[in-house]
Amino acid sequence: MYREIAKLVLYRDLGQDSILRKLSGIFEDWEKKESTGAELTTRIYEQIKALLDLSTMYGFDKNLWHNYLTFILLTNENSFSMTSEKVGANEGSVNHFAKGDFRVFKRLFDFDFGPIERDLGIDCFSTICNYKAIGKKERMYNKNVSEKVQAVSLRIEEAQDEEEIFTIVTDFYKAYGVGMFGLNKAFRIKSLPDGVEFLPINNTEQVLLEDLVGYELQKQKLIDNTEAFVKGLPANNVLLFGDSGTGKSTSIKAILNEYYDKGLRMIEIYKHQFQDLSAIIAQIKNRNYRFIIYMDDLSFEEFEIEYKFLKAVIEGGMETKPDNVLIYATSNRRHIIRETWGDRDDMETDNGMHRSDTMQEKLSLVARFGVTICYSKPSQKEYFRIVTELAKRYPEITLTEQELCARANQWELSHGGISGRTAQQFINYLAGRRD
């Protein structure tokens, strides 16, 4: 094994703590008789445990060894894989080295663990190559990653040589990309002293625009802007504002699901992270994806100044915002930043500024969103329509439309008033009852 891994060129940056690198060292010591059987067995079990942990995290099944090798191929960011992301195979000398690496991975796929198992009296490799995983709820692992890795793993198992693997892998890079951005839809960030770290969101809500009842004009406006964006055409930053519970956040989650396979990715950030916006953009501006930086429930009090970071990034800073980045935000406030009646008085303040200037500074943030979409509270008629449409998705709800509307009216009077969220909560309540 270690002789094969030493031949890797493009995919050799595995990290010193990688399972493959550690197993390579174990097999080298075994062949050279430089460790006792007990020591080797202990080291092997440590790596098997690491492989089982990784497999549980991503819901791998059947041949965990093949799944792991495929995971490396799909997540290793190198000069070849990153050149191929979202465009596929290209002509060039680098393909010679890529095919050489795929030849190595083919041998690793077909590696015979029998000799070391017989010598050490273990069967752990045979077990992980014929594994039956315990069924898990989707929210316990990243289903999106799991399905893609296992599908590619099965195709590589059937590949005859490195030429077929080259086609399989570059086709995947073209369709989805490489690394964490290729496999995951959405991310949060963690601030670091020297930049930011992207943390994949394992389970995004599987909602589609058609699941949101009503708001057809609003949804179409959002679709038109997003489609232009993913096609590489000019598009605008978007602000969705209006009453709470009307579907603003749901619309943006649905947009991500609709356009993920066209290269759309989403990064969710919070107010206290706005100072990291420049670092975020620096890491994503040269990738072949379209990124939406998503800010949910955006609003600022008078004393909060984080909006100044946002204004500079959207428009006004020295560095131009890259074409593959847009900002989508939701807010219950039309103007995002809290206004006071004093802002409307043009008298001078103690520091000599006109209050109207202060107001203009606050309103200038909204002006930087080229598309603003209003999600207003539904009328009672629209509320009843939402309730009846949602009820059709639950066969266990057998109330007549008249009964449904009467119960829905009672529900909203004691549960926060009329909104799409109230309607969904009412339907959840009915669907959860067994009487």
d(CA 431, CA 306): 42
Six-digit token string for 327: 């900002």
- What would the pLDDT profile of 121-132 be if each residue is shown by its tens digit? 999 999 999 999
| pLDDT (0 to 100) of residue 195 | 84
| pLDDT (0 to 100) of residue 341 | 44
Six-digit token string for 87: 């465009």
Looking at domain 186-375, its CATH class is: alpha beta
Listing DSSP states for 150-198 in one string gives HHHHHHHHH--SHHHHHHHHHHHHHHT-SHHHHH-SEEEEEEETTEEEE
Overall pTM > 0.75: yes
- What would the pLDDT profile of 337-387 be if each residue is shown by its tens digit? 555 545 545 555 555 544 555 555 556 667 778 899 998 888 889 889 988
Determine contact, residues 365/274, Cβ cutoff 8 Å. Answer: no
Distances (CA, A) of 291 to 76, 187, 237, 322: 20, 10, 11, 10
Distances (CA, A) of 371 to 116, 129, 239, 281, 329: 63, 52, 6, 21, 11
Measuring CA to CA, which residue among 241, 321, 313 is closest to residue 274?
313
d(CA 26, CA 40): 7
Measuring CA to CA, which residue among 75, 99, 50, 76 is closest to residue 148?
75
Six-digit token string for 235: 């598009």
Q: Is 187 helix (H, G, I), strand (E, B) or coil?
A: strand
d(CA 227, CA 255): 10
Low-confidence ranges of the chain (pLDDT < 70): 136-142, 300-309, 311-320, 333-365, 434-435
